[in-house]
């Protein structure tokens, strides 16, 4: 071999090969960009955004206020929603083939069927009852911090003729005849009056940094309530709820309420009525007992059991109650709602009719 001879030339790629490699690299880059764009889009859609303290929505003139905790993380609420969704699926599939029901059971094994739905439940919410400017009993303003999907929520709400104006740089949305809303970053405000909504926006923007007030003292035994609230004694809606057709007892100053979904079958609650004197508290406790008896009769017609016990603690009348039988009521309600659904009927087992062969046929008047 000649040491000074030039090395053999490497065969060059053809134009088709270069084109194919370029297309492969370009497609790979597009796939990477699509994954990045999808991830960024999912993050943008799922993120809750900048949220404010919902307690700032309460008006200084409010006759009542309610606070709601993180319902999406509450085990009782999760159990209740799971129960409703599973029972609804069971009712829909009660006449489906066995293999369809087995596929559904395998798909939901080990997971909560309400995980997607609970994304729309509030992480924090506050409701303010305040004087109305439109002649109603009261104006209601609610501030809600969703767990996520606030950008998607704004995209869905602010469309067409829903967007009717702005207030301090934020969209005013008319969502119905008596429903107004606005998104302040990741905090949703809803009201039944436009002017009340604007006042709520002002309060949240001006005082959104202050901490939430402590929950009302509902006494012992303590409980992790899902909803707590305080309402003045002269509030009309409170009087209708607590006393029914009876006039409110004398000496009632305010009522404190607690509500908790304990399990899918049991819901607990407590009513504490602050009165001027122990005598007034005794009268209020008797009135609460009568109202509980009325509600128990009506709930029994729906298959629910209400148990309530009252007591007097100084100038306070306390009523502890719980409702049981929710699971059976859900089953009955969903069964009636799916009563006229399509009924699956398997195909009948048809045995084929075998015709006679020419060898089996016997002419008339002849014998085998």
| DSSP code string of 101-169 | HHHHHHHTTTS-TTTTGGGGSEEEEEEEEE--SSSSS-EEEEEEEESS-HHHHHHHHSSGGGEEEEETT
pLDDT tens readout for residues 122-134: 889 999 999 888 8
CATH number for the domain that contains residue 73:
3.40.1000
Q: What is the pTM of this model?
A: 0.73
What is residue 34's predicted lDDT score, i.e. its pLDDT?
Answer: 52
CB 176 within 8 A of CB 164: no
Q: Of the residues 213, 239, 255, which one is the last residue of a structural domain?
A: 213
Q: Are 16 and 152 in contact (CB under 8 A)?
A: no
Structural domain that includes position 139: 49-80+120-213
> In terms of pLDDT, which residue wins out, 137 or 368?
137
What is residue 47's predicted lDDT score, i.e. its pLDDT?
57
The pLDDT value given to residue 151: 66
Provide the number of structural domains found in the chain. 2
Q: Clarify whether residues 235 and 301 are in a common domain.
A: yes
Domain end among 213, 234, 262: 213
Residue 104 pLDDT: 60
pLDDT value, residue 161:
78
Q: Picking from 15-24, 79-88, 265-274, which range would have the lowest pLDDT averaged per residue? A: 15-24
Where does residue 244 fall: left (phi above 0), alpha (psi -120 to 50 degrees), or beta otherwise?
A: left
In the predicted structure, residue 48 carries a pLDDT above the cut 80 = no
Res. 40 pLDDT band, cuts 50 70 90: very low
pLDDT confidence of 252, banded at 50, 70, 90?
very high
pLDDT band of 44, cuts 50, 70, 90? very low
What's the CA gap between 68 and 146, in Å, rounded? 12
Domain check: are 62 and 177 in the same one?
A: yes
């Amino acid at each position: 071999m000649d040491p000074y001879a030039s090395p053999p030339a490497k065969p060059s790629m053809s134009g088709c090969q270069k084109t194919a490699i370029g297309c492969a690299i370009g497609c790979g880059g597009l796939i990477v960009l699509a994954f990045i764009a999808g991830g960024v889009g999912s993050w943008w859609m799922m993120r809750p955004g900048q949220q404010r303290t919902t307690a700032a929505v309460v008006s200084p003139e409010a006759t009542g206020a309610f606070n709601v905790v993180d319902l999406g993380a509450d085990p009782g609420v999760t159990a209740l929603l799971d129960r409703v969704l599973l029972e609804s699926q069971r009712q829909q599939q009660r006449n489906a083939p066995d293999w369809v029901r087995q596929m559904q059971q395998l798909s939901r094994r080990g997971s909560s069927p309400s995980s997607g739905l609970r994304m729309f439940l509030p992480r924090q919410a506050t409701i303010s009852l305040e004087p109305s400017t439109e002649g109603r009993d009261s104006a209601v303003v609610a501030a809600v911090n969703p767990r996520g999907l606030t950008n998607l929520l704004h995209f869905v709400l602010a469309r067409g003729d829903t967007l009717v104006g702005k207030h301090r740089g934020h969209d005013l949305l008319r969502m119905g005849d008596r429903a107004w809303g606005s998104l302040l970053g990741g905090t949703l405000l809803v009201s039944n009056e436009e002017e009340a909504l604007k006042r709520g926006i002002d309060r949240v923007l001006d005082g959104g940094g202050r901490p939430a007030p402590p929950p009302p003292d509902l006494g012992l035994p303590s409980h992790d309530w899902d909803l707590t609230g305080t309402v003045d004694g002269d509030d009309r809606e409170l009087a209708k709820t607590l006393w029914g057709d009876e006039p409110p007892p004398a000496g009632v100053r305010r009522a404190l309420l607690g509500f908790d979904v304990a399990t899918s079958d049991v819901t607990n609650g407590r009513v504490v009525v602050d009165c001027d004197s122990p005598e007034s508290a005794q009268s209020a406790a008797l009135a609460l007992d009568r109202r509980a008896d009325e509600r128990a009769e009506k709930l029994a017609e729906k298959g629910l059991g209400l148990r309530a016990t009252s007591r007097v603690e100084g100038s306070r009348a306390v009523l502890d109650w719980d409702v049981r039988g929710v699971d059976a009521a859900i089953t009955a309600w969903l069964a009636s709602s799916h009563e006229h659904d399509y009924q699956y009927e398997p195909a009948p087992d048809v045995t084929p009719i075998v015709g006679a062969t020419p060898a089996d046929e016997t002419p008339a008047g002849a014998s085998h």
